[in-house]
Amino acid sequence: MVLPSVAPQGQRGGFVVFLKARVTWTRAAAGLLLSTAAIAHAQHHGASEGVGFSGGRAYEYARDFVAIGPRWPTSPGHLKAEAFLREHFRHDQVEEDTFTADTPIGPVAMRNFIVRYPGKRDGVIVLASHYETNYWLRNINFVGANDGGATTGLLMALADKFRAETAGGRKLDGYSVWLVFFDGEEAIRSWSESDSTYGSRHLAAKWGRDGTLGHIKAFILTDMIGDRDLDIQRETQSTAWLVDLVREAAKKHHDEQYFFQTEESVEDDHLAFVRRGVPSIDLIDLDYGPNNSYHHTAQDTLDKISARSLQIDGDVILETIRLINQR
């Protein structure tokens, strides 16, 4: 990520503090009292989900991916990250979308990964994340555990489910699901429209030219939502009906307190799709650590993310997919 636009900083900060206090209380109550709600919640996020999605696996995948270390464009770590994804999805239908980005440091080779799981219905749901870290943070040990790492693990664990459901040539019950791992989301030098979101701008343009965009029913972007202290903002440029479906899905899982308690406009990889008329949502938690102090700092480490947050994300995304298929 990403810079929030619009909202006055002081006002927004104060509002968030209030809400976070409330969330903290809820967690303390659930943990200490082991209330009925807590038990119900544990069941919702535990084994009762069955063949579904494992937040624990998502966390393990994120851990393994983050262990590569910094992975900024042009670095050896970036090549390792690419090799990691290539190896992990070697038995899946993977497309490597390579391109050369025109950046402030000159042309940079970049690579998006697209993994496809076919569905019975005509149309596609895209789940996306970015996987690289910031070039401009190359002189600190910035591993982006939450920023790029957690959501890469999240998509990998969701893939486990789609892979199982499409084994032996079978198809998903609804629309096809495509996972996209974007390169070059972060600015090379300093965030601007031309120095950011290289991978998504490239792919949206390409899919606009070849007609693919017309088949996309929903584009769901995930960014920084491994945060242990999960509070996903309602991103104001996201498509309203998709926001409503996510809210409904969260409610079904009794997770509504983690979603859309605050709203703000965020520049991210969804915008190239929003601007081309694709129904899109950015699921982002841009409130990371005290006064956002873990964001784009060496403090963005694995201990700041949790399997439980990833479980909430995965459950709600899968329910959202179910609701999109019912529409």
Interacting residues toward Zn ion by CB under 5 A: 1, 147
CB 152 within 8 A of CB 60: no
Closest residue by Cα to residue 6 from 289, 186, 235: 235
147 vs 315 by CB, closer to Zn ion: 147
d(CA 238, CA 130): 18
282 vs 319 by CB, closer to Zn ion: 282
SS3 9: helix
36 vs 139 by CB, closer to Zn ion: 139
Strand-pair partners of 280: 219
SS3 284: strand
147 vs 231 by CB, closer to Zn ion: 147
147 vs 313 by CB, closer to Zn ion: 147
Compute the least distance from the CB of residue 89 to Zn ion, in Å: 23
147 vs 195 by CB, closer to Zn ion: 147
Nearest residue to Zn ion, using CB? 1
The string of DSSP codes covering 140-203 is TT---IIIIIHHHHHHHHHHHHHHHHTGGG--EEEEEEEEEEES--S-SSS--SSSS-HHHHHH
Compute the least distance from the CB of residue 221 to Zn ion, in Å: 13
What are the structure tokens assigned to 83, written together?
Answer: 């090799």
Secondary structure element (H or E) that encloses residue 114, with its range: strand 106-117
Residue 246 has, within 13 A of its CA and on its CB side, a CA count of 29
1 vs 101 by CB, closer to Zn ion: 1
Compute the least distance from the CB of residue 126 to Zn ion, in Å: 20
For the chain, helix (H) and strand (E) counts, in that order, are: 9, 9
CB 200 within 8 A of CB 247: no
Q: Which residues contact 47 (CB under 8 A, 6 or more apart)?
A: none
d(CA 108, CA 195): 12
Compute the least distance from the CB of residue 49 to Zn ion, in Å: 30
Compute the least distance from the CB of residue 1 to Zn ion, in Å: 4
Closest residue by Cα to residue 132 from 203, 194, 84, 193: 84
147 vs 255 by CB, closer to Zn ion: 147
Q: How far is CA 59 from the centre of its chain?
A: 13
Compute the least distance from the CB of residue 156 to Zn ion, in Å: 19
62 vs 218 by CB, closer to Zn ion: 62
Compute the least distance from the CB of residue 192 to Zn ion, in Å: 14
Sign of the torsion angle spanned by Cα atoms 266, 270, 272, 278:
negative
Compute the least distance from the CB of residue 2 to Zn ion, in Å: 6
Compute the least distance from the CB of residue 147 to Zn ion, in Å: 4
